[in-house]
Amino acid sequence: MNTVRWLMSKVIGFLFSQTIDHKNRKAAADREGGTYEAGSAYQSAGFEGDYHAATNLLKQRMDKSFPDNFHARLGSQTNSMYDYGEDRAGAVDTASTAIAMALRNGATVSQAAEAGAASVGI
């Protein structure tokens, strides 16, 4: 039985590798021939990609205004007894919702990041 499974997996792998290899060779030939059409560099990466890009833009600003407990305790000007975790969690929730809503309404990544910043008062 194991031999049959092994043989089937090899046959299926061989067939799919030929298909993938053919596509790759065709794309390479198109590039070399000058007929390759690449997508726009500014094309949207989809909602998830835009969301992650917007949150990365906002992350540094969030870290300054809403430090996590570890970084807040390292700073000399902050109250080491105060739990900053709840403030940060609330701000991340609010900004995340604002970014998602802005992207769903057709905003660009930078506009969505600004909407997230405005929602938490940064």
Q: Show the beta-strand stretches assigned E in the chain.
A: none
3-state secondary structure of 23: helix
Helix 85-104 × helix 109-119 angle, to 10°: 140
The pLDDT of residue 43 is above 50: no
Whole-angstrom distance, CA of residue 83 vs CA of residue 101: 29
Q: Kindly indicate the confidence band of residue 31, based on its pLDDT and cuts at 50, 70 and 90.
A: confident
HSE value, Cβ hemisphere, 13 Å, CA-based, for 35: 5
CA distance 78 to 68: 11
Q: pLDDT value at position 102?
A: 92
pTM over 0.85: no
Q: Which two tokens stand for residue 93?
A: 């929730």
Higher pLDDT, 42 or 35: 35
Q: What is the pLDDT of residues 83-114, one digit of tens each?
A: 677 888 888 999 999 999 999 998 999 999 99
Contact 87, 122 (CB under 8 A): no
